[in-house]
Amino acid sequence: MPLDPTQAFRLEGEVALITGGGSGLGLGMARALHAAGAEVVLVGRRAALVQAAAEELGAGAHWETADVTAFDTLPTLVERVIAKTGKVSILLNNAGINFKKLAVDTEVEEFSTMLDTHVLAAHALTRAVLPGMLTAGHGSILFTASMTSIIGMPGVIAYSAAKSAYLGMVRALSVEVAGQGVRVNAIAPGWIESPMLRKALDGDPARSNRILQRTPMNRFGEPEDIGLAAVYLCSPAAKFITGVLLPVDGGASQGF
């Protein structure tokens, strides 16, 4: 039976666990998924932040505190979420950090922390939710990658390595579980209005202008731009899409 286009982007009955969900891109995705009908669980390190975000969204929004680099605690986090909501059918691996340093100045320990926060945390959490998805024969896993997964940028070697690792994870996992009803994709945000971007551009209007000049659409993105892309990739509208990286960057990764 053909899918009703008016319902293709709806997410009623889904439960989404979103790391880094208290602000920025994570909150933008949470708002969009919640508006599309999903129950959402916002996860972050700062209780006040994720609690306020969940209360802003209202009914059907929950919050949990967790440090995603405390890998051994993540199965327990998933157990708490399932006890509260009944399942996790959507996972958004979004928590992240960034710093700007040339390769020669980047300490091994800093590089390791970047990989822990992005790559190992995403694997640990994916591993914790995947059995439930496979048993149900249904699920969607989404990674927040980056333009640095596509193009080279100076001063972000550790961040670029971590975000590029997501592409290999998406490719491998997508083909591993595609026949069992679980889809795996990634979004590559460009320069999006967020606390992380504001911190990076604070006091540097020249850099802000350079970014706009190299973005063909000549503006910064909004968190809702990422949220709408997440809704699409997690919805029935994308039921035959897995293993893809979707750039949401105003054309910045395509040339300028």
Q: What are phi and psi of 20, to 5 degrees?
A: 65, 35
Measure the CA–CA gap between 115 and 2, rounded to whole angstroms: 43
Question: What are the residue numbers of the active site?
Answer: 159
Scanning the chain, the segments in alpha helix (DSSP H) are 24-35, 47-57, 74-85, 108-115, 121-136, 157-177, 195-201, 205-213, 223-234
In 3D, which of 47, 88, 48, 51 has the Cα closest to residue 66? 47
Query: Contact 106/56 with Cβ under 8 angstroms?
Result: no
Contacts with 54 (C-beta within 8 Å, 6 or more apart), sequence order: 40, 42, 61, 62, 63
Query: Contact 40/14 with Cβ under 8 angstroms?
Result: no
H or E stretch including 63? strand 61-65
Measure the CA–CA gap between 118 and 132, rounded to whole angstroms: 22
In 3D, which of 91, 101, 85 has the Cα closest to residue 126? 91
